[in-house]
A = this chain, B = another copy of it.
Amino acid sequence: MDQNGISERLESLPGWQQEVDVISKTFKFVDFAEAFEFMTKVAAVAEQMNHHPEWTNVYNTVDVRLTSHEAGGLSDADFKLAAEMNRLAGQ
């Protein structure tokens, strides 16, 4: 469905929004230990940046969503943290 179709349909759906203000990625690792090592490194960076991911970990998979609610959309912090996460995952 193209963007016009999406925008048109959303007009008649109170409270629903397209998640254009979120970037996401699924990180896969060899096992849980490696996945959690990644999360530990990211946690330190996130604390330092005072910018925190929405994330879920199941065994060797880490699903990440980044957004800046307080900025009302995506901000430089989201892209900086995304780049750090790629670096820490060796990607």
A interface, CB within 8 angstroms of B: 1, 3, 6, 9-10, 12-20, 22-27, 65, 73-76, 79, 82-83, 86, 91
Contacts and interface: CB of A to CB of B under 8 A. Distances in A.
B19 A23 contact: yes
Given A17-B23, A18-B23, A19-B22, 5 more contacts: A1-B73, A13-B86, A16-B23, A16-B82, A17-B25
Contacts of A76: 1
Contacts of A16: 23-25, 82, 86
B86 A19 contact: no
Contacts of A15: 25-27, 86, 91
B19 A24 contact: yes
